[in-house]
Amino acid sequence: MDSFVLSEMSFDRNRIVENARSVDFDGPLYSPSEVHRFDQLCFESPSSEELIIVTCTRKSEAIDANEFLIHSLLENDWNHRRKYFLPYVESALLLPLREDEFNEILCVRSSRLAVPLPECVARPRRFVSALKIFDDWNDVAVVAEYQSHYVCFMWSTTA
């Protein structure tokens, strides 16, 4: 599946890869309006080496859905791994998710957090649709569109 419509915005693998190719790591980057980072010290067991990054942006503040996705992925510190960013994006699944599937992923991956998730995720309003971006044993990422905003949830572990 190369593309599908997420509300009025179209997520297209080619556009996403094109956006990833055009990232200037040395220049100013668009950043989602909210970036919440939960490192291993935010979990019940710091030895789990887990990391959660949640990004949220109102639709009125987003460049477009594709840019939001790319720049959300960039929040995961690619400074010393730049050469891997494009292959990473090219390997994205981009599979549609139902609301209950999206919520289940968030629930499972954040269940060991010792602090609450931000309100944009904890109390979402008017779900439109969602995508599974990555689903590996050590790297999970999903993005959702709500009526008024976008949310990206990324979980990883180095354990």
- The tens digit of pLDDT for each residue in 16-46 reads 899 899 988 887 777 778 999 999 999 998 8
User: Residue 136 forms beta bridges with which residues?
Assistant: 139
How many Å apart are CA 77 and CA 3, to the nearest integer?
A: 27
User: For residue range 114-139, what is the model confidence (pLDDT) as tens digits?
Assistant: 999 999 887 768 898 889 999 999 99
pLDDT at 10 exceeding the cut of 60: no
pTM exceeding the 0.75 threshold for the entire prediction = yes
Q: Which of 94, 90, 84, 79 is nearest to 19 (CA)?
A: 90
55 dihedral zone (left: phi>0; alpha: psi -120 to 50; beta) = beta
